[in-house]
Chain A
Amino acid sequence: MNWTSVADFLDMGGYGFYVWGSYLVSLLCIAGEIVLVFNRKRTLLRHLSLIHQSTKQEKGNETTS
């Protein structure tokens, strides 16, 4: 074990800013990419289901009229 306490761990031998700055931004980038990709998917699926519903309605209108 390299660390004697939590404060020691966060300090990273005086390099805390650089080490945690690297890992924090990496985490943000990965989390951000995941959020963006799922947002894109949700928007697309909503869009597709709207198209699907409207075409179903159009078909329904054709048979009734």
Chain B
Amino acid sequence: MRSGAAFFEIDRLSKRFGGLVALDEVSFSVREGEIYTIIGPNGAGKTTIFNLISLIYPASSGTIRFCGEDLLGRSPEQVARLGIGRTFQNIELFAQASVLQNLLIGRHVHVPKNPLAEMFFTPAVRRRELESRRAVEEVIDFLALQAYRDAVVAGLPYGVRKVVELARALCTRPRLLLLDEPSSGLNVEETEDMAYWIQDIRDELGITVLMVEHDMSLVSRVSDRVLAVNFGKVIAHGTPAEVQSHPDVVAAYLGH
């Protein structure tokens, strides 16, 4: 990382879908090792920010920089290679595969892929498979997924699938983790667990977390800093307490 360069920064990012302005010159930066949350009403453009970072569609203007590397203009699979992992709002797991297979895919950027050697399952391939298996098991331990290891994802309850989605992102060994509404659809206990895990991800694994979230108690509990957006524009940023008491934010949520 170049000295002086911010860990992750977004500068005047904009996105237009035809005539609709989804994001209007959004700028913020994330420090290494913090948990940074983006809040805002539905349709404010939060997931759009994530989709732009993951390069699912191109930005209309602005820059995204990760450790000094410019993301725009790269291809989506390079984003993972650079060390950015993400979860999806609507859970994009591989439904017909087992949890284990889903997690192993997370190792994709860390293993060489040599189809001809794999067809013969050479000792080198075998060795790398065992390594991957071991690495994935660490994540399974971290998120207590042992009971579901061989279960087919399609048959699992929603709460478990969200955890598997998180596990899979962790298997990519990211330096920056994008969490898209980690608590949506979870009950109180599951949200509790999620809060602990997000903190552990920062404290034990040293991963920086950029999160989109609706659940305000979760936001205040785990976030170091918060950014509030509405109608594609930044309306407040700062500590959770500052943002939640900001008049524009209150107005946006209560609709004055």
Is this pair of chains taken from one and the same complex? no
